[in-house]
Amino acid sequence: MNPLELYGRRFHSRLLLGTANFPSPERMTAAVHAAQAQILTVSLRRTAVGGEAFWDQVRGLGTQVLPNTAGCHGVREAVTTAQMARELFGTRWIKLEVIADDDTLCPDVVGLVEAARVLVAEGFEVFPYTTDDLGVAARLLDAGCRVLMPLAAPIGSARGLSHPCGLRALRAHFPDVPLIVDAGLGLPSHAAAVMELGYDAVLLNTAVAQAGDPEAMARAFAQAVSAGRTAYLADPIAPRDMAAPSTPVLGMAVLA
């Protein structure tokens, strides 16, 4: 199975994990190991709350850090947060979030494209949290983004694929762009369904962090992501409207 390649770096794991809302630092560490995650998202606000001890813990895991601009509602706020994150975490990677409102936590796509242009011009490697809108995707790619992160459902909702047709269309229109589903997955079966559509990876946080057993749930998601990817590469048969016999009729006895 080919590795996941993002901005010139390769990873064997296709499960990205967030670091917020775990019941304890120890449970987070156990979940990261169970998921075999190589990329962790970290919020600048979360680091400010946890302090140097939290950052030391994340660094000790030996993973690639993907800082995010979670909670930012405007272009200026998102750009400033990204600049601060680059200084703190020492990486050009940034998961760009520009939120439209606090009720849905869906992206402000106009602000998102504008902020992406600014950050790419400043040398950032941007991972935009976006929708499955094809026009928005095209504008983000024109802005210089080389990865897209569409949501499956609202953040933390655990609803799974709210609009699978949109996700399928996005994959079909941009076959060579790494696509990572971000937000809304609640069960390992959701992750498997995403990967069966041909997506390159999934990003999880709430579904693992707030499970009764985060370590077991992280392991289950890792298995589902692997199974879904394998199924996609195996070229599954297309659905049919009518039954199709699996047993041949040649050689069967003919009763008079």
Extract the annotated binding site for 1-deoxy-D-xylulose 5-phosphate: 156, 183-184, 205-206
Vertex 92: Cα angle to 127 and 106 (nearest 5): 25
Using only the alpha carbons of the chain, give its radius of gyration: 20
CB 192 within 8 A of CB 220: no
Annotated catalytic residue: which of 46, 86, 95, 117? 95
Query: H/E element holding 40?
Result: strand 39-43
Q: How far apart are the C-alpha atoms of 100 and 136, rounded to whole Å?
A: 15
- The verdict on whether 157 is a catalytic residue reads no
Q: Count CA within 13 A, CB hemisphere, residue 246.
A: 1
Vertex 114: Cα angle to 110 and 119 (nearest 5): 145
Binding-site positions: 156, 183-184, 205-206
Backbone angles phi, psi at 52, to 5 degrees: -65, -30
DSSP for 65-122, please give it: EEEE-TT--SHHHHHHHHHHHHHHH--SEEEE--BS-TTT--B-HHHHHHHHHHHHHT
CB 94 within 8 A of CB 125: yes
Task: Quickly count helices (H) and strands (E) in the chain.
Answer: 9, 10
> Which residues belong to the active site?
95
